[in-house]
Amino acid sequence: MKKKTTKDIVIINIILLIPLIIYGIFKNGYLLYERNLIPFYIIFKPLYLTIISILIKFFFDFITTKKINVNYNLLYMILISMIMPYNINILVYIITLIITYLLTSLLETKFKFNKVALIYLIIILINSIFNGLTFQNPLESTASFNFSFLDLLMGRCIGGISSTSIIFSLLAYTLLINSYYYKKDMPLFINISYLFLSFIFYLITHNSDILLNSELIFASIFIAPLPKYSPYKVKGQVIEGILIGIISFIISILFNKVISIYISIFLVSLLANLSLKKNN
Amino acid sequence: MKKLIKLLKDKELNYLNQINDFIDPTCIYLPKDNNYQVNDYIYKNTFINNIPSSISGKIAKIEKRKFNNEDIFCYQIINDFKENAKNKIRKKSPKNKEELMNYLDLFHLTEIINKINEKGNLNNIVVCAVDEECYSFNEFISLSNYYNEIITTLNHLLEICVINNGFIATKNTDSGSIKKVKSILGTYPNIKMKLLPDLYLISYEEYLCSYLNIKKEETLIFNTNEILILYNALFKNRVLNEKIITISGNNIAKSLIIKTRIGTPLKEIIDKFIEIKDNNYNIFINGIYVGYQVTSFSDVIISPSIHTIIINKLVIEEETECLNCGACFKICPVNINVKKCYFEKMLSKKCLGCGLCNYICPANLKLKEVIKDGAYEEKNN
């Protein structure tokens, strides 16, 4: 077994995210271009968002430390760019990301919370003022599709710009599961508790909309178990996982399926920190 | 019990399958006690601080030297190359356990006596010829070269202690020694050879007994060095004041196994045998994970507990902020909450000092040094 540095772990995670970004370009770029819904240069919008995030991160690195660091902040920025809605305005994205990145970095010194989830929620809030709260791309908003289960697994669900591919998310999970650095129990319990509740909900109401939630799968695999914001003991991971699953389910029913997971991840990480502080 | 892991081997490592002798040092250093002064003559095998002098000669001076990772005052004994020994121990070989204890006491073998006394009902004796880290070849080479002596001693111990189960445990990768041991094992019906997987920590009592399917409480475990000490005491009536050490690492041309005398300055051995590739290097004593680091060879003395010297290319591992990944907790074989102990600066009695937490930590935190050795006290002071 080879020792891994922080840089190695971050790079492995980024490599595992690449197929999802490529699928994002296919779903939210190529398919739209093919139907003449967008000009050619917009095909690569998912990639532009990722590059912008990386550049902002490196810019801050350069200002603060005069060198470029490959650390978890880089992964956070890439993840944020992947979960953005298709309708995000690039200018709004750049400005809000810079402000929220600075703000959360300051807040982080006082409170421990999932930074990725909070930045996402703030950007979504601001974007919804200008563009409304929608996660559909032009194709999804203009037509109605009857996708097969396999299509949905591949990523034809409604969600973030590069985060909808369930297959690639699960593939990444199976590769991460053997790593000593990955908190594998958390995604498992988030999904088990969410699926359990939504299945009961389906049995009662026959509403299958919330059963398959690609955003929940993506966020539970990549965002909830981020080491800094999640417990390292299995017991803690199980408790937090179940809590996130339950809260996500409730928010999915009452408010919005896509952002439910981010609200619950943020709330649980904040609550966990507050309860830890109280106990100490 | 946690699953053991296989550590990554250093690909740049190579070694010679033979023992080089260095038994004529110009001087040796032994920890100072109050019985001798400068200019006193020391006979060979005179016990100073329970360590036998491996040469004879006069005490030239008293100097500070690094002995077992401590800077202590030592006698410098200049070798007169006469090998004058004063008290040769002459006593009949022991016939039972009680006689064995008294006999070993004559040789100041306190550690071995305590080891035997710790166990109540003995049912098994194991000679564990396993080198944990890839940088050490002592056990493998000792078994390969002294298999006759080791098996004879083990058989003798089994007879004295009236035990029927003797085991020689070695890694299944050590093909050379396996072949040699098996060639003579037929004449010793009470001794079995057991092959162990090449996993880190396999020689630790708990894991070893578990793999051999024997009870820990009823088992006495020796390494090959201890068995050779017993062999010399039981069959040769002499104190073993020589040691086999490995000098290896990826910054030297060839790793060597050297037979040397206890108290020899490491610098003398390095100057004679070792060709160092690059001038920037790290020196580890007794292993990268379980051992400790020193800054130079000049003060280090070959003490009875030193068995491996590793000279590796300089790698600067910068400590960064803890990621909270929990890898240290996951990998710890005795389930210590490593992170908590580290940040609350708690020493752990359970800690084996295996160094796996240091090995796995992506932030390069010196976890073992704080939890096992209490290094924070030094930092704070």
Give the pLDDT of residue B50: 87
Q: Indicate the helix (H) or strand (E) that contains B72.
A: strand B70-79
Give the separation between CA A171 and CA A16, rounded to whole angstroms. Answer: 9
The amino acid occupying position B378 is: E
Give the separation between CA B196 and CA A56, rounded to whole angstroms. Answer: 53
DSSP B245-302: EEEE-TTBSSEEEEEEETT-BHHHHHHHH--BS-S-EEEEES-TTTSEEES-STTBB-
Contact A228 B364 (CB under 8 A): no
B284 inside 8 A of chain A by CB: no
Nearest to A6 among B326, B339, B363 (CB): B363
Residue A24 banded pLDDT, cuts 50, 70, 90:
very high
Q: Outline where chain B has alpha helix (H).
A: 97-106, 110-118, 138-160, 175-185, 205-212, 224-236, 266-273, 327-331, 338-343, 356-360, 367-371, 375-380
Which residue in this structure is represented by tokens 């600067």? B316
Q: Which of B60, B333, B19 is nearest to B205 (CA)?
A: B333
B330 inside 8 A of chain A by CB: yes
Are the CB atoms for B125 and B117 separated by under 8 Å? no
Which residue in this structure is represented by tokens 């650390």? A71
A149 inside 8 A of chain B by CB: no
Which residue in this structure is represented by tokens 């990639």? A47
Nearest to B326 among A9, A71, A183 (CB): A183
Nearest to B5 among A1, A181, A230 (CB): A1
Interchain CB contacts (distance < 8 Å): A and B: 51
Q: pLDDT tens for chain B, 381 residues: list them.
A: 677 888 877 777 776 678 899 989 999 999 998 889 999 999 998 999 989 999 999 999 999 999 988 899 999 999 999 988 876 666 778 888 889 999 999 888 999 999 988 887 889 999 999 988 888 889 989 999 999 999 999 999 999 999 989 999 999 988 888 999 999 998 999 999 999 998 999 999 989 999 999 999 999 999 999 999 999 999 988 888 899 999 999 899 888 999 999 999 999 999 999 999 998 999 999 998 888 889 888 889 999 999 999 999 988 888 888 999 999 999 998 889 999 899 988 888 888 888 899 989 999 998 988 887 665 444 443
A35 inside 8 A of chain B by CB: no
Give the pLDDT of residue B311: 93
pTM: 0.83
Return residues 42-101 of B near A (CB < 8 Å).
none
Chain A residues lying within 8 Å of B323, measured CB to CB: 6, 9, 72, 181, 227-228
Give the pLDDT of residue B379: 41
Q: Go through A170-184 and write b for each residue having 16 or more CB atoms within 10 A of its CB, e for each that does not.
A: bebbeebeebbbbbb
State the burial class of residue B9 (Cβ atoms within 10 Å of its Cβ: 0-12, 13-18, 19+): exposed
Q: How many CB atoms lie under 10 A from the CB of residue B2?
A: 13
Which residue in this structure is represented by tokens 């990444």? A172
Give the pLDDT of residue B83: 87
Interface test with A, best of B8, B323, B356 (most A CBs within 10 A): B323
Are the CB atoms for B371 and B342 separated by under 8 Å? yes
Nearest to A180 among B324, B360, B364 (CB): B360
Q: Outline where chain A has alpha helix (H).
A: 6-25, 31-34, 45-65, 72-82, 90-107, 115-131, 138-142, 149-151, 166-176, 185-205, 214-222, 234-254, 257-279
Average pLDDT of chain A?
91
State the burial class of residue A131 (Cβ atoms within 10 Å of its Cβ: 0-12, 13-18, 19+): middle
Give the separation between CA B216 and CA B209, rounded to whole angstroms. Answer: 6
Chain A residues lying within 8 Å of B362, measured CB to CB: 3-6, 8-9, 181
Residue A154 banded pLDDT, cuts 50, 70, 90:
confident
Give the pLDDT of residue A86: 92
Residue B62's alpha-carbon distances to A109, A168, B45, in angstroms, are 54, 69, 19
B325 inside 8 A of chain A by CB: yes
- A7–chain B nearest CA distance, Å: 8
Stretch A204-225: mean pLDDT: 91
